[in-house]
Amino acid sequence: MDAAAAAGPSSSAAPAAAARPSSGAEPSAAAAAQPAPVAPRMQLLQAPLLGAGGAGSGSGSGDARACRHHAYSRKQKSLGLLCSKFVALYDREDVETIGLDDAAKQLGVERRRIYDIVNVLESVGILVRRAKNRYTWLGFGGVPAALKELKERALREMSGSPVFPPMEESSTANLSVDEDDEKLEDADEDAESEKLSQSVDNTSDKPDAPGCRLRSDHRKEKSLGLLTQNFVKLFLTMEVETFSLDEAARLLLGEGHAESNMRTKVRRLYDIANVLSSLNLIEKTQQADTRKPAFRWLGQAKRKQENNTMIALPTARPNKRAFGTDLTNFDNKWGRLDPTTEDKAKLMQGAGNIVKTFERQLGQGNRSDFVYGPFHPAVAKKQESDDHTVRQKERKTIQDWENLAVSFRPQYQNQALNDLFGHYVEAWKSWYLDLTRETSS
DNA sequence: GTTTCCCGCCACAGT
DNA sequence: ACTGTGGCGGGAAAC
């Protein structure tokens, strides 16, 4: 492969293809000669990426006056900016559905970019997939519900309550949680549930459980949408101010992360972070201690105007959050903590938070909205009493952790959760050890 | 240098 | 076979 070509921003040749590991079989075939027509990147460059109201881009189907080289500017083409434009374009009362082709054309970008945006927007409830090529715009009004749901799901995942209905969307009913207002809006949940109803289980370390796994899960479990949700869950459940992207990647990947794996994950997180910050859900800052770039959760989705002013969130829209939107999306991978992570204090904080979660679920807290699913931990009741012990001496002894672990672990209906919980416990133990060592010396 | 992240190839899924 | 989706990582812009 001659590849490696100097592929500047304007050279089209397929550099990427070169070193691609390409999971599949025929490795060589890939090289399929690229006609390399008219520098596509240049075409895009020309496209106006028109902002808000702006009408259709002129560049219809890229023709080749592409050759004048305006300074190529990445900034003008960032996903974040594109997202703002996307939102500006569709965040209107009268917008109901969105066609991907249309969006791509309007914004003067290739389809591929629209997928990126749409996937993360869907993850935070701004739109839902209706059908091939079709999305329904829900708007920012859908965000709070989506976040709430995400949080609840995260908590459930941590506690071991079942998160997914038997497999068919129809049975969402038994979903225990009283998602107050998530009505099954109209009849077409089908489409969206199709997409994210991945009871994603595990990657490698598990053969496969009975019938609960789609074959496409493998692909889905790495999807940008899922990653977005898991990223968000990090903020929603760990009471941690900021996350740098590689911290997040590490947390989300778990151990055994190959370096390249890590890099890829971080690249994706950059994509996601850019979109989320353009929605004003997070913002870029620096970590207090290290000064490393990091992201802080804002949680107030707003539309960011070109000039950086915000459009207040239109709380109005009776967020018709369709239940199907990934309610069943269940990924054990998220939150796998790596005990070797250096930022213990931070994670300790998160751990404390998780403890609170357990307490809450043991009936201590005031979260009356939490309901155990069918797999209500048998020991939970009994444990209610001994449990303020646990609370009060949150950091008292490792024994506590182990007891807690023992009482819960067997109740997990799902190996993945079991693992996840195990990770937490292991991690806490080691942090606790370190902590006590430090403090006692 | 390092960090950020755009871009488009191409595998896989759906029709 | 064809089309829609979207993972993925090269490598260049930005810092």
pLDDT one-digit tens code per residue, A410-426: 333 333 334 444 444 44
pLDDT attached to residue A83: 94
In this prediction, residue A427 has a pLDDT band, given cuts at 50, 70 and 90, of very low
Is A8's CB less than 7 Å from nucleic acid strand C? yes
Report the mean per-residue pLDDT for chain A. 57
pLDDT attached to residue A94: 87
pLDDT, average across residues A18-24: 34
pLDDT attached to residue A417: 38
Is A283's CB less than 7 Å from nucleic acid strand B? no
Q: What SS3 class is residue A221?
A: coil
Mark residues 347-406 of chain A whose C-beta is closer than 7 A to nucleic acid strand B.
Answer: none
Interatomic CA–C1' length for residue A47 and nucleotide B14, angstroms = 31
pLDDT per residue as tens digits for the range A362-391: 333 333 222 222 222 222 333 333 333 333
Specify which residue's alpha carbon is closest to the C1' of nucleotide B11: A24
Choose the weakest-confidence range: A4-18, A335-349, A422-436. A4-18
DSSP β-bridge partners for residue A311: A303
pLDDT per residue as tens digits for the range A191-231: 333 333 333 333 333 333 333 444 456 677 778 999 999 99
- The sheet carrying A127-131 orders its strands as A97-99, A134-137, A127-131
Residue A126 pLDDT more than 50?
yes
What DSSP string runs through A280-311? TSEEEEE-TTT--EEEEE-----EEPTTSPEE
Interatomic CA–C1' length for residue A310 and nucleotide B10, angstroms = 39
Residue A236 pLDDT more than 80?
yes
A67 phi and psi angles, rounded to 5 deg:
-80, -10
Is A204's CB less than 7 Å from nucleic acid strand C? no
Is A142's CB less than 7 Å from nucleic acid strand B? no
pLDDT, average across residues A287-309: 73
Rounded Cα distance between A37 and A41, Å, is 11
Helix A259-278 / helix A245-253 crossing angle, nearest 10 deg: 120
pLDDT, average across residues A268-291: 90
More confident residue, A299 or A308: A299
Interatomic CA–C1' length for residue A417 and nucleotide C13, angstroms = 42
Q: Where are the domains of chain A?
A: 36-69, 78-336, 344-368+377-439
Are the C-beta atoms of A266 and A252 separated by less than 8 Å?
no
Choose the weakest-confidence range: A300-309, A354-363, A370-379. A370-379
In this prediction, residue A136 has a pLDDT band, given cuts at 50, 70 and 90, of very high
- Where on strand C do bases come within 7 A of a protein Cβ? 4-15
More confident residue, A417 or A117: A117
Interatomic CA–C1' length for residue A363 and nucleotide B5, angstroms = 46
Rounded Cα distance between A434 and A325, Å, is 41
Residue A357 pLDDT more than 50?
no
Is A172's CB less than 7 Å from nucleic acid strand C? no
Interatomic CA–C1' length for residue A196 and nucleotide C1, angstroms = 27
Measuring from the CA of residue A30 to each C1', which nucleotide is nearest? B10
pLDDT, average across residues A68-93: 83
Interatomic CA–C1' length for residue A27 and nucleotide C10, angstroms = 17
A392 phi and psi angles, rounded to 5 deg:
-60, -35
pLDDT, average across residues A391-395: 37
Residue A35 pLDDT more than 90?
no
Chain length of chain A: 441
Interatomic CA–C1' length for residue A35 and nucleotide B8, angstroms = 13
More confident residue, A257 or A38: A257
Residue A82 contacts by C-beta under 8 Å, 6 or more apart in sequence?
Answer: A49, A107, A109, A113, A117
pLDDT attached to residue A272: 95
pLDDT, average across residues A116-145: 92
pLDDT, average across residues A51-62: 31
Mark residues 52-81 of chain A whose C-beta is closer than 7 A to nucleic acid strand B.
Answer: 74, 77-80
Interatomic CA–C1' length for residue A164 and nucleotide C9, angstroms = 33
Residue A306 contacts by C-beta under 8 Å, 6 or more apart in sequence?
Answer: A51, A52, A84, A88
A176, A180, A186, A187: CA torsion to nearest 10: 0
Interatomic CA–C1' length for residue A132 and nucleotide C11, angstroms = 33
- Where on strand B do bases come within 7 A of a protein Cβ? 3-15
pLDDT attached to residue A162: 53
Mark residues 244-303 of chain A whose C-beta is closer than 7 A to nucleic acid strand C.
Answer: 260-261, 263-264, 267-268
pLDDT attached to residue A60: 31
Interatomic CA–C1' length for residue A22 and nucleotide B11, angstroms = 8
Mark residues 110-139 of chain A whose C-beta is closer than 7 A to nucleic acid strand C.
Answer: 111-112, 115, 118-119, 132-133
pLDDT, average across residues A278-290: 87
